[in-house]
Amino acid sequence: MIYQQKGVMIRQTNYSESSRIITILTEEGGQVPLMVRGFNKPNSPFIVLRQGIKEFLFTYTRFKGMGTLNEVDEVQPFKKVNADFDIYSHASYVMELVIRALEEDVLHDSFYRLLIKSLKLMEEGSQPAGVVAFCAIKMLPYYGGELNVTECAVCGSKNNRNFFNYSFKYHSVICSACMNDETGARSVPVTNRVLYLAGYMKHVAVTNVDSIKISEENAGSLLKFVELIYDEYTGVYFKSRKLLQSY
Ligand SMILES: [Zn+2]
């Protein structure tokens, strides 16, 4: 059967001197392995696949198991993302956040939409660290994590102007009136603005986000806070996170 689907290449491995096997994440959220004959040849029609993070339209033949790629066309080349090392590193982080949560034989079309939205936001000039934080907050439930920033875990107050701490004892924010030596055990100070942004990103629908225009400082603090949450609840080690911290 012949398929034509939008997708992003998420893995590749050499099969022979001239051919590679790639795995694509399709717009339906499935993973499809494809044989790409002639991938490594200098005049290959699949040369566009070699570099960068891009959205493609893949035309392939598949019956069962591995398919064969027939044609590939660029849909979104994400030129700015692929040309700027800092943005590219953040985009790689977004890719990893999505890819690591994929499961065999489970379709996650929402993952695909989130991935493309995140890349598009970066392409259009949103703060890269803010976009990674947004993507990480949306992916958190799939890693078994939680983030509660709408009400104080002790008194139930929803007055978010009084939130300055996040507690790993209560798995939630605690308001300033309820903070004392006992309730404050295993809590970390987080700015009010960062907690507000985290709550907004948790609840907003992915389709309703057109840009993430926050200061570089707030974006950085927000990402640090979200990474703290990942460290606490998931124990997943992201290679691209390490890369970002090392330069
Ligand atoms: Zn309280």
Instruction: Provide the residues around ligand 1 (an ion) whose CB is within 5 A.
Output: 152, 154-155, 157, 175, 178
- Compute the distance from residue 163 Cα to the ligand 1 centre, in Å: 9
Q: Could you tell me the distance, in angstroms and rounded to a whole number, from the CA of residue 222 to the centre of ligand 1?
A: 22
169-208 pLDDT tens trace: 999 999 999 999 999 999 999 999 999 999 999 999 999 9
Quote the CA–CA distance of 113 and 121 in Å, as a whole number.
12
Instruction: Give me the amino acid identity at 4.
Output: Q
Cβ atoms of 146 and 226 closer than 8 Å: no
pLDDT in tens, 108-132: 999 999 999 999 999 999 999 999 9
Query: Per-residue confidence of the chain (247 residues) as pLDDT tens digits?
Result: 999 999 999 999 999 999 999 999 999 999 999 999 999 898 999 999 988 999 999 999 999 889 999 999 999 999 999 999 999 999 999 999 999 999 988 999 999 999 999 999 999 999 999 999 999 999 999 999 999 999 999 999 999 999 999 999 999 999 999 999 999 999 999 999 999 999 999 999 999 999 999 999 999 999 999 999 999 999 898 999 888 876 5
- Total Cβ atoms within 10 A of residue 172: 20
The rounded Cα 103 to chain-centroid distance in angstroms is 15
- CA of 212 relative to ligand 1 center, distance in Å: 30
Q: Closest Cα to residue 37, out of 7, 60, 55?
A: 60
* Ligand 1 geometric centre to CA of 159 (Å): 9
Instruction: Report the predicted TM-score, pTM, of the whole model to 2 decimal places.
Output: 0.94
Domains located in the chain, CATH noted = 2-76 (2.40.50.140), 79-145+192-245 (1.20.1440.120)
- Rounded to whole angstroms, the Cα distance separating 73 from 48 reads 8
Crossing angle (nearest 10°) for helices 216-233 and 192-203: 70
Distance 164 CA to ligand 1 centre (A): 11
C-alpha to C-alpha distance for 55 and 52, rounded to whole angstroms: 10
Ligand 1 centroid distance, CA of 193 (Å): 18
Query: Could you tell me the two tokens for 59?
Result: 């035309």
